[in-house]
Structure 1
């Protein structure tokens, strides 16, 4: 299953401080096959990560262990995502 983590920034100073650890964490999980995609929003107010996990609980644990979440730089909203395979057959 896929799970989308929305990560709005709530403390810009903490975010700047912990961003290198966040990026290293995301990169590590990507190479382990636990992240499908990740990136910032163009308005500079946060970003999104799409986790690949067997359960919501697994995805939640991965998302909650992100350094920017642990350090209170960003909040976390995690939702299961029903990704469709394109093109759709009508």
Structure 2
């Protein structure tokens, strides 16, 4: 389903350097769990941080990746190999 997320006008901003360099280690942790479909509440429980802190991290991730939603952020993360597959 990640293939059909973008419209004609919605394109992520591609930078010359890796987007991974712009994300903090904690943002990468949160992004990994976003990519497997966890909610903010679930991510907070897994990482031992508050729901509100997760919301802030997700907001920052979306801004830094120029993504309009979680699905688009997950698609960018997969396309740019931003996360490791260590969750399974």
Query: Which bin holds the TM-score, normalised by the shorter protein?
Result: 0.3 to 0.5
Q: TM-score, normalised by structure 1?
A: 0.37
User: Which structure has more RCO (C-alpha within 8 Å, separation ≥ 6)?
Assistant: 1
Which of these two proteins has the greater Rg computed from alpha carbons? 1
Higher strand share: 1
Q: TM-score, normalised by structure 2?
A: 0.38
Higher helix share: 2
